[in-house]
Each structure stands twice: as structure tokens, then as C-alpha cells.
Amino acid sequence: MTGTQVLSIRLPAEVAEALAEKARPRAVSEYASDVLTKASGVTNTPPDKAFRAFKDELVAWVAARYSPRSFPRDVTLKAFEMAAGSAKLRRLHRAAMRGDDGQPNKYRRADLHRQTGQAIQRILRAEVNGRSDPLDGSAFIKSFTYLLPA
């Protein structure tokens, strides 16, 4: 996302474990970012909220339909195809891709797609098994990673 910084903090082991448990199925860093953002009183910009909402919706869709032991290799493609067919998710996708100037930003799009794919991989505890060939220009995504159960 735009305007982010990477910080490293030391936590007692029991705090880190509790944080990891509360974060599931999301990444600890995403959960911690949300908690710290709320605690700071800073509100996310609309594109950042749309970014998170889009990613969370796709991950929830995948988690509701597939288990870490059984899912198609092209599960990421299937999730994005579902999003392409949903008016709500298309709106979130457009909003999430807006740059600071309000215009579509190809870097935010790439970041959104990469982070969403990684989140799907995490929720399924999957291993990467290759990359698709580039999809045609009408596809919602340009390519995707094939996944296999770990």
C-alpha cells in the first residue's frame, strides 16, 4: 500500500503467540497493522480500506469453499474469476487500485493482486507449483500462481 513503513518490534513470546492466534487466518503483520492503526486513531484512506476489503473477501470465499487438503491448482484464478463476476468486488477492486491522485495505478493493482494471491496461499497453507502463462487481455488478472497442498 502507499505510504507504508516496515517496523520491527520485540514482543514477549506469549504476546506473539496470542497475536498469531487472534490473527488467523490472516497474516500476523496485517492483524497487528489493523490493531495499531485503530490504537493510533489514524484512519485508513478509502483506497486502503477497499484494498483490505477486496483481499479479505477473496480469502473468505476461498476459506469457505476449500480446505488446505483439497483445492484446485488454479484456486487463485477461480477466486479472481468469482470477483470479476461480482459487482461489489469489481467496485472494491477499482477503488483499491486508485493511487493518491484518484486515478487507477498499475503498481497498486499489481500489489493488490500479489498480496491477495499470497493471502490465498497462506490460508490454504499451500506450496507454489508454478506460474500460469499470461492470460488474455480481457482477464481480470494477468497471470496466477498454481498451488498444491503442502
In a domain, 71, yes or no: yes
Confidence of residue 85 (pLDDT cuts 50, 70, 90): very high
| Cβ neighbourhood burial of 40 (10 Å; 0-12, 13-18, 19+) | exposed
Parent domain of 128: 45-149
Question: Among the listed ranges 51-60, 77-86, 98-107, which one has the minimum average pLDDT value?
Answer: 98-107
Determine how many CB atoms are found less than 10 A away from the CB of residue 19.
15
Q: How many domains, in total, are found in the chain?
A: 1
In a domain, 5, yes or no: no
Return the pLDDT at 83. Answer: 95
In a domain, 70, yes or no: yes
35 pLDDT exceeds 90? no
In a domain, 29, yes or no: no
Return the pLDDT at 43. Answer: 58
8 pLDDT exceeds 50? yes
In a domain, 33, yes or no: no
Return the pLDDT at 112. Answer: 93
Average pLDDT estimate for 123-133: 95
Mean predicted lDDT score pLDDT of the chain: 86
Average pLDDT estimate for 18-36: 75
Return the pLDDT at 1. Answer: 42
What percentage of the chain carries pLDDT values higher than 70?
91
Cβ atoms of 111 and 134 within 8 Å: the answer is: no
